[in-house]
Structure 1
Amino acid sequence: MQDINYINHLNAVLEQFAKDERLNPTHISMYIALFRFWNYLHFPETFHVNREEIMKLSKIGSKSTYHRVVRELSHWEYIVYMPSKNPFKGSSVKMFKFETSSKPPRVHYNPKSNTSSKQALVSKNKRNKTIINKINIEKGRKPKDEKDVLEFFKKEKSTETEARTFFNHYQSVGWKLGKVPIQDWHALAKKWMLNSKSFAAEKEKQNLMTQSQNKDKHKATDHLHTNRDKNYNQPL
């Protein structure tokens, strides 16, 4: 049995994981499962592993994935994997002492031996970016609530009435333009405010024109008025 400081060892190996770009979650899960088994056996120099048990602990459902990952961990010197050809005797594993190991694992990048791991990382990063972009799009499609709209209209120096009118209108149609979901409600709100100002200006212009026409009409009508007290006996 070896004298292993549980916390120091895990801290050291987790630091190594953070630096090693070859690893994906499956490698880490496998290592933690092996470490748990090693700890349960009180840290022997080597120990036999039960594949089904390790797969269960590491949440790995494929035998081919299990063999690939354990061999990669061995190749990258996180463990030493010693496969057994005897069906009645399990394979053996040796765990390096990370806290005091005289031969710590080397962190390097070898594209030939790491194609699958690199693809897994790229795929995961791409998936994460897609999810983040989707979340950002969803956030911009519609406001959180009416208060969100009121604050935005106030910031743009518009009125509370316009804000409530805008919110109630698009809330009633499910924040869609026809059948198409709104992509950016802020941009739509700004367009609404511009249209509202243009409409108000046009309405004011129409009112002024109407008032002017009414005045002209009133003047014309005044010219047609006759004096009822006029004396028609007077000579022209």
Structure 2
Amino acid sequence: MNYIKQLNSFYNKIQNDPQIAPCQIALYNALYQCWNKQRFADSITIIRDEIMRLSKITSKSTYHRSMKLLHNNGYIIYEPSYNSYVGSKVHIIDLTKTSEKQKNTQSKNGQAIGTPMKRGSSRNDKPMETPIKTPIEPLYKHINNKTINNSNCLYTQAEIFMKKNKKIQSKNEVNQDGLVKVEMTQKEKSSAKKEKGIIPTLEEAKSYFLEKGKSTIEAEKFFYYFESIGWLVGGKTKMKNWKAAANNWFINSVEFSKAKNYAAQKPLDTSPNKRYDEPL
């Protein structure tokens, strides 16, 4: 056997075999090396560990799967031995014969196609016609068959765009009207609060203080004090009725004037010239 033709026919065959992967190629080369060492015998005995080491296959499942695939696809004949002391047997199939048979069949088919018509054959005997493949219709056929007028499409697009702009403008106008109304209502509310008399003017405070028999200076003190603190009662809550706050101001001012008129007690005299015959 010519081992070079064997390897060439192996690589020619795996080109058309989609199931063969690098693992199977490495395994076949390892088997081929053992076959070469055993002088190309009809069947060779192999040891799994040795073949796995030569083929660089580390997984046992990958080894058995690759061996089974080579056996099923006609590269080898694998006879496993389920005895750990006896090696398995492998028969390398001669691929050169199969490749020659394929070449012969291809050459015969080529001659049969290229042979001229014999004299005895009638004209009615027509040669075999190869089936004409009907072209596959594209999925977008329904789109290509439509007659579309680009001018109409542009016109309709412009109309849709103008309608959308009109809707947006009308919405903006409505929103602006709503904002103006809200601002007007807020101004009306603020003016209504002022009309209710929550925050007085200086003239209103002076007139109220004069009605109660107080001076305008006290009215100015009252007005400017609460104006500085933002018309808050106790520095926290907003004032609800300034007249009630003014009445409270009157009461506090009277008590403050009493405390001011109170004469402080004289300090005790502890000097050495003190007269003890005088009362304290």
- TM-score bucket (shorter structure): 0.3 to 0.5
TM-score, structure 1 normalization = 0.41
